[in-house]
Amino acid sequence: MKRLLCALVLTFTGAAQAAAPALPGLGAELDKTSVSGLSSGAFMTSQFFVAYSDIMVGAGVIAGGPYLCAMSYPSNTFLQNATTTCMNPLTASTAPPAEHLLTLAKGYASKGEIADLGNLKNDRLYVFSGKSDKVVSTLVVNQTVAFYKAAGVPDDAIRYDTSVNAGHAIVTDAPKDTSCDVTAPPFINDCDFEQSTRIIEQIYPGSKGPAATEPKAVAFDQREFIKSSNTSMSDTAYYYAPKACLEGKHCPVHVVLHGCLQGEKVIGDKYYNGTGYNQMADANDIIMLYPQVQPSQLSPFNPQGCWDFWGYSSPDSTTPDFYSRNAPQIKAIYQMVERLASAPTNTSEVGQ
């Protein structure tokens, strides 16, 4: 019995020692935060972007619908809207109704559940829909652009690209990745350009091209930011901070949100180390933050490891909150950004 107890203690101790370190404070520029994502990460991009528009300067939406998309038609459940209206509506008339969703958003802003929508007018957007994307159709992505234009984002602040024969994927310039027009795991496609470069250049005008480096993101313990048992968020997430940002420079933060079946538990480091964001970080002194979601089969039911844009993470399933500042996933991501913006901690042992 004593040997068994000792073995259990040693196992527990080893597991504790193996936990990733805490996310450090780096004195980041909170009011220059931005966010981008693919698919469910793109839907979450709009949710995080709109909810916290008071700290945002821009967003990149790859194959994603407008804010509050799952509320498009009251006759449907949120899940029905998410899996039909927000994916592949039959006609433009059954696509997400941008004006209606903006009206809902104004109501949430008036109640203080999200930031003032007037903040969006000074922001910059990159929006993308692949010509071969049959998962989230261009009919849906069109309404993302319509929503932001109706909210006051100027036309010249939006770069909307529908010209590339891409499948449902984030785009790279890497021959090792999936062919451009294919939709298949890991949903990272070679279309002869780096989408991360275009996103950062659009959001931060004057940005330099990617550095000729091979930077690797650093693990941190994501558990301290998770305040609900239903988030489907992983224990570990990642960030990358260039040397200057570790040594006292006040750098902006760009949040990168993977899509379904793209978290580390499914594809390893391909998203946070293989999509070019870290090279843009090195070239432009930007901190990259990579929150992680993983598949969950029971509570919550999230078998593909998608970000929540229809309500699975909410404790109250009758009135799910997946869109406001208090939504479990949105709040967790904000607190990560807030930590990075806090007073610098000792980064002498932080890996690169």
What is the model's pLDDT at position 16?
42
| Nearest residue to 26 via CA among 235, 241, 210 | 241
pLDDT tens string, the chain, 352 residues long: the values are: 344 334 433 333 344 446 899 999 999 999 999 999 999 999 999 999 999 999 999 999 999 999 999 999 999 999 999 999 999 999 999 999 999 999 999 999 999 999 999 999 999 999 999 999 999 999 999 999 999 999 999 999 999 999 999 999 999 999 999 999 999 999 999 999 999 999 999 999 999 999 999 999 999 999 999 998 899 999 999 999 999 999 999 999 999 999 999 999 999 999 999 999 999 999 999 999 999 999 999 889 999 999 999 999 987 777 899 999 999 999 999 999 999 999 997 655 444 4
Convert 256-276 to b/e letters by CB count within 10 Å (16 or more is b).
Answer: bbbbbbbbbebbeebbbbbbb
What is the model's pLDDT at position 40?
98
What is the model's pLDDT at position 144?
98
Does 133 participate in catalysis according to the annotation? yes
Does 110 participate in catalysis according to the annotation? no
Cα-Cα-Cα-Cα torsion 88, 37, 50, 98, nearest 10 degrees, comes to: -20
What is the model's pLDDT at position 13?
38
What is the model's pLDDT at position 44?
98
| Nearest residue to 59 via CA among 192, 306, 253 | 253
Does 168 participate in catalysis according to the annotation? yes
What is the model's pLDDT at position 179?
98
d(CA 47, CA 324): 7
> Which of 168, 190, 308, 321 is an active site residue?
168
Report yes or no: 262 and 169 within 8 Å, Cβ to Cβ: no
d(CA 203, CA 126): 7
What is the model's pLDDT at position 346?
67
> Which of 123, 133, 282, 321 is an active site residue?
133
